[in-house]
Amino acid sequence: MKAVRIHRYGGPEVLVYEDVDTPQPGPGQVLVQVRAIGVNPIDVSVRADRFPTPRQPPKIIGSDGAGVVAAIGSDVLTVAVGDQVMFTGLGVGSEGSYANYAVIAEGPGRRQASLADL
């Protein structure tokens, strides 16, 4: 898949569009084919290392997105493949939304991101 990653912190010039492995959902997780993302101040702060995160570069940034559920992990109860969803909260301790696919938690309390039906 394609993704926008950073290999070091800095301005927009550190964004790199490159091939990366497609992630796979684990228990309680959902793989979303990303169709839309948002760029917000937290994304800029993560890229510039003004917002401390546990995950260090290289990493995919991006907090918010929307798309279609492409696969589900075990124990997923509220969504199915083909559902349209939106999500928020990625890119701080996990890989972010600036990619063709993102793995996110099924719902609140299971990880830092959550899904909502569109």
Candidates 32, 50, 29, 33; CA nearest to 41 is 50
For 11-58, write each residue's pLDDT tens digit.
Answer: 999 999 999 999 999 998 999 999 999 998 989 999 999 987 888 899
Query: Which pLDDT score is estimated for 109?
Result: 43
Query: Which pLDDT score is estimated for 1?
Result: 97
Query: Which pLDDT score is estimated for 116?
Result: 57
Residues 6+ apart with CB under 8 A from 36: 65, 66, 67
Query: Which pLDDT score is estimated for 3?
Result: 97
How far apart (Å, rounded) are the C-alpha atoms in residues 105 and 31? 9
Query: Which pLDDT score is estimated for 113?
Result: 45
Query: Which pLDDT score is estimated for 112?
Result: 39
HSE at residue 33, side-chain half, CA atoms within 13 A, is 9
Query: Which pLDDT score is estimated for 44?
Result: 93
Total count of domains within the chain: 1
CATH number at residue 50: 3.90.180.10
Q: Model pTM?
A: 0.86
Q: Residue 12, class by beta-carbon neighbours within 10 Å (0-12 exposed, 13-18 middle, 19+ buried)?
A: exposed
- For 54-97, the three-class secondary structure string (H helix, E strand, C coil) is CCCCCEECCCEEEEEEEEECCCCCCCCCCCEEEEECCCCCCCCC
Tell me which residue range forms the domain holding 26: 2-117
For 82-117, write each residue's pLDDT tens digit.
Answer: 999 988 877 666 789 999 999 998 865 443 344 555
Query: Which pLDDT score is estimated for 67?
Result: 94
